[in-house]
Amino acid sequence: MPPNTGKQTPGQGGLTFLAALGLVLLLVAPVSGVPQGGYAHPEMLIQPEELKALLDRKASNLRIIDVRHKAKYYLGHVPGALEVWRPDLEDKNNPGLMPPRAQVEALLSRLGVGGKDILVLYGDLYDHAHLWLVLAYYGFPLERLRLLDGGLEAWRAKGYPTQLTAPRVSPTRVKLPGKSALPTLLANLATVKEACRDPGKVIVDVRSRRQYLGQQVKEGAARPGHIPGAVWLEWRETVVSAGPGKGCLQPAAEINKIYAAQGVTPDKDIFLYSHSGLPAAHSLLCLYLAGYPLEKLHLYAGSWIEWSRSPEAAEMGDAASRPGTPLKIKKSSKTEATREKSDH
């Protein structure tokens, strides 16, 4: 083997340049997404194979964020991933509410996010979608956000390694736009109340079937039921439940078919809610991925927790009445409404 003189051999410089160029193109070019996924925004997704290739190339402008509980994170995560969890994504002074811009900036700074970094987000439920929505709301460039399709389960299914320790990063100083770049992304109670009476708008409840019917009340809610006129489409419907693609998102055609069957079409303003808003963020993201205009998609941030504590009407059972038609409900007994602490 010849000694390393520090000088490039003929053609070596060109090869080095091409390798570097290939890495840049891989980072900034839209990724393919799920084969035959037919997504309107395939660049939002990154497949395990693509992420592995970036890690093998030691891409410098890459930040991987694991949005799971710390206990799960330390049992194994994608190499180089940094941990973020729910308390980081809610107002520290008003738990359950959207974090203020300064708090999000501080979080990104702590994670060492640079001005050109690509963020790859993943979780095991829907929390990574919530982080995506928070960042989108405060104007983080959408073209620099990726979702690891299938999450850690898909990564492990490929036989790729995991890491048990947290990487060290140097903090940065991140500044986001002064005002929300997408102010209509969030809706309040008054806006949702008006939507109940507008045929051009539709309200979607993405909680479990039992919660929607009023058979189950989760901790934090004051009463059972759902918003009058809301249609039910559980957030899990857009996720492959079994087979080789388990945990990955459904193809765009399937997502459109599922929602169109309930009258949820791209021409309408769509208001999504869950128990506290987290699964609803996942549903919103899936609709955008499938081609629904982002300006038509609205997350009711207060969700059922806020509505159930308000004096507004609620419905029990299937939504048989027209939007805006109040339905009185009786106070449920402890045997009629069980309480859970899981799924938000």
Q: What is the pLDDT of residue 179?
A: 72
Q: How many other C-beta atoms are found inside a 10 Å radius of the C-beta of residue 213? A: 17
Q: What is the pLDDT of residue 94?
A: 83
Q: What is the pLDDT of residue 96?
A: 78
Q: What is the pLDDT of residue 6?
A: 40
Q: What is the pLDDT of residue 243?
A: 86
Query: Does residue 280 contact residue 227 with C-beta atoms inside 8 Å?
Result: no
Rounded to two decimals, the pTM is 0.83
Q: What is the pLDDT of residue 322?
A: 35
Token pair in block for residue 149: 């399709």
Thinking of the domain 183-309, which architecture would CATH place it in? 3-Layer(aba) Sandwich (3.40)
CA 158 to chain CA mean position, Å: 23
Domain boundaries, the chain: 30-157, 183-309
Q: Do domains 30-157 and 183-309 have the same CATH topology?
A: yes
Q: What share of the chain is helix, strand, coil (3-state, %, to 5)?
A: 35, 15, 55
Instruction: Tell me how far apart the alpha carbons of residues 229 and 214 are, in angstroms, rounded to a whole number.
Output: 14
Q: Spell out where the chain has E strands.
A: 45-46, 62-66, 82-83, 118-122, 145-148, 186-187, 201-205, 231-232, 269-273, 297-300
Q: Is 185 helix (H, G, I), strand (E, B) or coil?
A: helix
Token pair in block for residue 133: 């929505």
Please list the rounded mean pLDDT of every run of 10 residues in the chain (344 residues). 41 42 42 64 95 96 97 98 96 86 97 96 95 95 96 95 97 88 92 96 98 96 97 96 89 97 97 96 97 97 96 84 37 38 53
Q: What is the pLDDT of residue 319?
A: 55
Instruction: Tell me how far apart the alpha carbons of residues 114 and 132 are, in angstroms, rounded to a whole number.
Output: 17
Q: What is the pLDDT of residue 97?
A: 84
Thinking of the domain 30-157, which architecture would CATH place it in? 3-Layer(aba) Sandwich (3.40)
Q: What is the pLDDT of residue 344?
A: 65
**Own/partner long-range contacts of 168-171 (Cβ < 8 Å, ≥24 apart):** 169/82, 169/111, 169/112, 170/112, 171/109, 171/110, 171/112
